């Protein structure tokens, strides 16, 4: 099974000054050899962090890390099918009074569409998505 990495894993790695390769190696040391990929939503979240940086040095480090991710990892776009699946999940869960953060919803829908699980540091958010395989790191 492949895994979509939640953005939190990437942010934690960037804060530890790891390279993208080191982040992937750390994930694989826990989970074994597996395909690791991202949703484009993670690129949105990482880019947001670039522009929220308080110093030029932090901004440049974050930009470099994001550029490395875009170069070295598979980033799955939000296709029509993923958008429809996210809407279905959100609608069904909202009908039950369950609200899911949009970013987590799209990351989770991307994983389900691909037949992947999600690797995350925040299981609580992803447990709200039925049918999603979740791997806690």
* Nearest by Cα to 73 from 46, 104, 112, 103: 46
Question: Which domains, from first to last, does the chain contain?
Answer: 3-136 (3.40.50.1010)
Transcribe 98-124 into DSSP letters.
----HHHHHHHHHHHHHT-EEEES-HH
Name the more confident of 29 and 88.
88
User: Could you report the per-residue pLDDT of 69-94, keeping only the tens digit for each?
Assistant: 999 999 999 999 999 999 999 999 99
Question: 56-66 pLDDT, tens per residue?
Answer: 999 999 999 99
Residues in contact with 45: Cβ distance below 8 Å, sequence separation at least 6, in sequence order: 7, 11, 103
The secondary element (H helix, E strand) that includes residue 96 is: none
């Amino acid at each position: 099974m492949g895994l979509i990495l939640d953005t939190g894993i990437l942010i934690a790695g960037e804060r530890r000054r790891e390279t993208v390769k080191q982040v992937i190696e750390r994930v694989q040391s826990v989970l074994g050899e597996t395909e690791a990929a991202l949703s484009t939503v993670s690129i949105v979240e990482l880019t947001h962090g670039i522009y929220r940086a308080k110093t030029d040095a932090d901004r440049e480090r974050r930009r470099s890390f994001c550029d490395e991710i875009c170069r070295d990892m598979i980033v799955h776009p939000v296709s029509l099918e993923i958008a429809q699946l996210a809407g279905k999940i959100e609608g069904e869960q909202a009908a039950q009074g369950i609200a899911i953060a949009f970013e987590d919803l799209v990351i989770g829908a991307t994983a389900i569409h691909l037949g992947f699980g999600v690797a995350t540091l925040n299981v609580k958010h992803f447990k709200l998505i039925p049918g999603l395989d979740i791997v806690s790191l």
